[in-house]
Chain A
Amino acid sequence: MTTRLNSEKLAELADRARSVRTNIVKMITEAQSGHPGGSLSAADILVTLYFAELKIDSKAPKANDRDRFVLSKGHAAPVLYATLAEKGFFPMEELLTLRKIDSRLQGHPEMKNVPGVDMSTGSLGQGLSAANGMALAGKIDGSDYRVYALLGDGELEEGQIWEAAMFAAHNKLDNLTAFVDNNGLQIDGPVAEVMSPLPIPDKWRAFGWNVIEIDGHDYNAIYQAIQTAKTVKGKPTMVVAATVKGKGICKMENMVDWHGKAPSREECELFLAELDN
């Protein structure tokens, strides 16, 4: 089985990711609030999932047999919204309503009103449990859909994550693939300094998960990890993806200050020009 993406697909993913990153910057600038760093670090993972893997249909966002995606690190809502709009779940223009009154696009994802959002998240640590429940429902029903979740590395400091980690392995949820967006930074500084969750892969192995370590900006690596996870029986898979916070914009890369800060209009112009090149 070939697990490499062809050059055409790779080019498409790169284009999509550029568009998603552009929209992340635009929408956070327009809102003058939001989380650019962790949205940009996760963009390549979401784009690969949504444009090379997920069995979903923007015209039937609640279809029972669809694959599910839970953004457990809900503060990265801009990357989810930008990806969903890119995929046709709602109009691209709506992205500029992010975080504004009367908008469906809440600061953190809300599943009731936004087509394509499979779980309301934002309070860290809760998304993996919800993904477990969806995967378990699939097992009970004998459905063959898969469930994906994206966790932050700082989020691993939440106790509920490890309750959920035990549960998924204990119940052999091999229809669940989770990612850690391992960008190394949280609000108060480097995760290793604030409250180290390291070594991340060893912890998940110890909890009974299949673990794959990749470069989270390499489309082929992301795609291969997804395909490998589908072949693993009896265990959930954790893809520990090494990423760069603020990826794609030099001034933001690896800068903790860009965790939850909006660019000014001037900065926005510079960042968009950089993404355009």
Chain B
Amino acid sequence: MGKATREAYGEALRELGGKNKDIVVLDADLSKSTKTNLFAKVYPERFFDVGIAEQNLVGTAAGLAAAGKIPFVSTFAMFAAGRAYEQIRNSVCYPKLNVKIAATHAGLTVGEDGASHQAIEDISLMRSIPNMTVIVPADATETCQAIDFAAQYNGPVYIRLGRMGVPDIFSDDYKFCYGKAVKLAEGKDVTIIATGVMVSVASEAAKELTKAGLTARVLNIHTIKPIDHSAIIEAAKDTGAIVTCEEHSIIGGLGSAVAEVLVENSPVPMERIGVLDVFGESGTPKGLLVKYKLTVADIVSAAQKAVSRKK
């Protein structure tokens, strides 16, 4: 098992701190968990712990950005996208300020802390705000590059990171391309589109599908907004069926974003793997992925269903 994306984030941020003096980091009493403490140890003069006060966390970052800084703001996804939603909307996105919200502990794989801490709505909330960019990296390498990209991009970015370790997918020569889907496997019967921790699960499912005589294209969509229209349309035309996979509610996330593109351009049978409009609960991350139907087997059966619906 590779690193968690939050760990890769902390390391990337520490690297970035040396390259760009305009980078400042703010956290809300969770720096040991979000891994911003790695930056804090090296650049204490550019690290600010605002305490347990997420509204002010985001608002202060807006002011720093208005005065020319590049603030990276971290807390759990629940408290960033949830608690400080309106500060993100009105103080950051409306004036298009250069604030990066790197939210960790997203999704069910927070695990034992339970539903109160499991953000399964954050992609939905963030992608509906004008001027916002939403990125969900799948592994450590992609996270590092996404963080570098965010620092160079001028405007608000929401980066969704996880608590749990995830398999390494990309090698060192990987190049993150903002807004571009990454093809991880080629196939002709169905396309599995995944994001974040579900990308490696989707790749496994594609392998499994060959046993059933089906070949699947696998797309990693790291940039949920702006989404890669052409890759989705091409997948629909080439394979005729789509399955989306995300560790997020089926309402408003990757599945919805893909469906929006499909219905307007190239409707094909589609199935969504995601949290089925219910709250999570305490448990091990692995146990929760099984209980909430986010496994290889779930993707395989969704793919078979999508294929069977082809006319």
Contact = CB atoms under 8 A, between A and B. Distances in A.
Q: Do A and B bind each other?
A: yes
Interface of A: 64, 68, 70, 110-112, 118-120, 122-123, 125-126, 128-138, 140, 159-160, 163-164, 166-167, 170-171
B83 to A, nearest CB: 11
B90 A123 contact: yes
Contacts of A112: 95-96
A137 B45 CA distance: 11
Interface in B6-61: 24, 45-46, 48, 50-51, 53, 55-56, 58-61
A120 B130 CA distance: 15
Given A167-B50, A167-B53, A111 B66 contact: yes
Contacts of B94: 110, 120
Given A133-B63, A134-B63, A163-B56, A111 B24 contact: no
A119 B45 contact: no
Nearest to B131: A112
Contacts, number: 107
B95 to A, nearest CB: 4
Interface of B: 24, 45-46, 48, 50-51, 53, 55-56, 58-69, 71, 86-87, 90-91, 94-96
Contacts of A123: 86, 90-91
24 contacts: A119-B62, A119-B63, A119-B91, A119-B95, A126-B55, A126-B59, A126-B62, A129-B58, A129-B63, A129-B91, A130-B59, A130-B62, A131-B63, A132-B56, A132-B63, A133-B66, A135-B63, A136-B64, A140-B46, A160-B53, A160-B55, A160-B59, A164-B60, A167-B50
Contact of B60 (A64, A111, A125, A130): A130
Contacts of B86: 123
B62 to A, nearest CB: 5
Given A140-B46, A166-B51, A171-B48, A130 B90 contact: no
Contact of A111 (B48, B53, B87, B95): B95
A133 B46 contact: no
A110 B95 CA distance: 7
